[in-house]
Structure formats: C-alpha cells, structure tokens
Amino acid sequence: MRLEDLRTFLRVAEMGNLRRAAEALQSTQSALSKTLARLEREAGLPLMARTARGVELTEAGATLREHAQRMDNAQADLDHALRERRHARAGQVRIGCIPYLVSGLVSPLLARFFASRPLATFALEPHLTAALVGLLQSGRVDLAVAARPDVLPVDLDFLPLGPLPMRVVARADHPRRDRLTDPQQLAHERWALPSSAQHLRRWLETSLREAGLPPPRLAVESSASPVAFVELLRCTDLLGIMPPRVLTQPAGQGLAALDCAGMAWQHEIVVFWRRDAYLSPMCRDFRDAMVAYCQETGL
C-alpha cells in the first residue's frame, strides 16, 4: 500500500465525510473514492461503509487506521531525523523547567552549549512540576526539568540530575524565629505556599499531619515558584519553603532557614522526555549535556 493512499485514508477516517476530506486535501470526492477503492482491493476487505452522515470505518478499516497511523508517525520521525542530520549543528530544543533552575542550571548550560552549537535555538517554558508534566505529555516541550513525582507517568522516561534541598524559611528578624524549632510551633504561623496541586505543598501537609498537626494556615497560595515569595517573606512574618541556596544569593538576603526538626527535605530533580516521542540529535545532546553538567556542578 502506498503511504500517500494511507494518508488519504487517515484524513477521510478523521473527517468521516468524503466532501470535507476532499476540501481539506484540496482534491475531489471522485479522486478520494478511487483511492479508497484501491485500498479495499489491496486489503481484500471493505474498509468504509456509507451512512447518512458520511462514511464509517468497518472493523477492517479500524485495523488499517491503527497501522496506517503508526506508519505515518514513523515516516514523520524519519523525516525529522534526516532533516536534523542535514543540519546537525542547528535545530530547536523546547525546554520546560521549574523557575528556580532557569538561572542556576539552564542559563549557564546554554552558554556552554552555544560554544559548540552556535546555530541552535531554544524555547524555554518556566512552570512548576505539575504543569511541566502536562506540557511534555501534550508535546508542547521536548524536555522537562522538574521534581520527580511520587508516581511517574508511564509514558515518560527520565534521567536523574541530582537532589535539590528544601527548607522552611522566614525573615531573619522574625519575632518568633528562636521558638520555631519544633513543628508544634508551626501550627500557629501563617504561610505563603504553592498551590495544593504542587509536590512541595503536599510534602509539607504530609509532614505536619504525621506530626499530629493541622494543615498550614494559608495567607497566600499561588502557582508561582516559591522563590517568587522572597520579598513577601522579607517584609512580613509569613513562613515559606525554598531551596537554601537562594538564601546565599542577593534575592534571598534578609531570609533565614528555620532549624526546625523534620522540616528539611530534598526533591529529586530529573530531566523528562516522552518515551515514544522522537528526540532530535540536538535534544539528545542537550539532555546529555545537562546530566553531565549537574554531575560536575550539582544543583
């Protein structure tokens, strides 16, 4: 069977109507009918049945659609691979990344990468982990740098990049800082936290629940990175969560990590990609460079 015929068949199956399929393909109903008749002769079985609304796949047609789609996808992957080979030093990589790691990991790695791939281009999407997984699964990014979820989606593969420590923080001159060394004391404080869908928030709530404490008292809830709260924490008595390295940077001046029992933990940061998706040589090179960079410098 010719791939062109199979692609026509896929479009007719998608539209369920010869007229609409002919318009989409800039062809004629007569030409599409001839193509379908040719496929049916080759298959030795009827593939479509006419209805009042258009056409419907027979059982054999449904089987052919499944195999034709795989063939079309394989051809598309081959086209991508050959195009990348023709432009081995060019190409685009679409990256999703948790905001904190944009400046600490992605930016310095890009500076290195451009030295050997001067024609490469990158599209960067900063989001928190839950949103990044969705972007990756929908095909809107090629790679995602995020915290490994408790349950790994079955359609994703990953390589570890290293642990990212997290601490409860407050302003350095917080009036109750010296007393906030016991989780019991945290029950009386108010917090600026990620939304309940985020791993950080779920970890905190689980830790408090295991200590026999109620959920944190929210003052601010946001889908933004916890690092976005530094100015808010610096100017109020609210508590937050963020990587301790932030406290050594200019943005984190005036904040301090609390020495509170059981309130220090770490995320495993990984680079994800879709298991069955085509990854260009450029994407694979950048992924592997990211793993090597993290082994060299840490997060």
> pLDDT per residue over 126-157, tens digit each?
988 888 999 999 899 999 999 898 788 899 99
Query: Has residue 290 got a pLDDT over 90?
Result: yes
Domain boundaries along the sequence of the chain: 3-85, 89-163+268-297, 164-265
pLDDT tens for each residue of 234-259? 999 999 998 888 888 888 899 999 98
3-state secondary structure of 51: coil
The pTM of the full predicted model, rounded to 2 decimals, is 0.61
CA distance to 142, 171, 234, 254, 290, per residue, from 161 (Å): 17, 30, 30, 29, 8
3-85 under CATH 1.10.10.10, yes or no: yes
Query: Has residue 86 got a pLDDT over 60?
Result: no
Strands 156-171 and 143-147: unpaired
The confidence band for 83, taking pLDDT boundaries of 50, 70 and 90, is low
Report the chain's mean pLDDT, rounded to a whole number: 88
Cα atoms in the 13 Å half-sphere on the side-chain side of 238: 20
- E strand residue ranges, 172-263: 190-194, 217-222, 240-242, 255-257
Mean per-residue pLDDT for 49-75?
88
Write down the pLDDT at residue 194.
Answer: 82
Rounded Cα gap, residues 97 and 75, in angstroms: 30
Write down the pLDDT at residue 125.
Answer: 93
Which CATH number is associated with domain 164-265?
3.40.190.290
State how far Cα 65 lies from the chain centre. Answer: 29
pLDDT tens for each residue of 168-218? 999 999 999 988 988 888 888 999 998 876 777 888 888 888 888 899 999
Residue with tokens 């830790």: 207
pLDDT tens for each residue of 4-26? 888 888 888 988 888 888 888 88
Which CATH number is associated with domain 89-163+268-297?
3.40.190.10
Mean per-residue pLDDT for 153-167?
93
Write down the pLDDT at residue 110.
Answer: 94
CB 221 within 8 A of CB 194: yes
**185: amino acid identity, one letter:** Q
Angle, alpha carbons 136-108-82 (nearest 5°): 50
The confidence band for 232, taking pLDDT boundaries of 50, 70 and 90, is very high
Write down the pLDDT at residue 228.
Answer: 82
3-85 with 164-265: one CATH topology? Answer: no
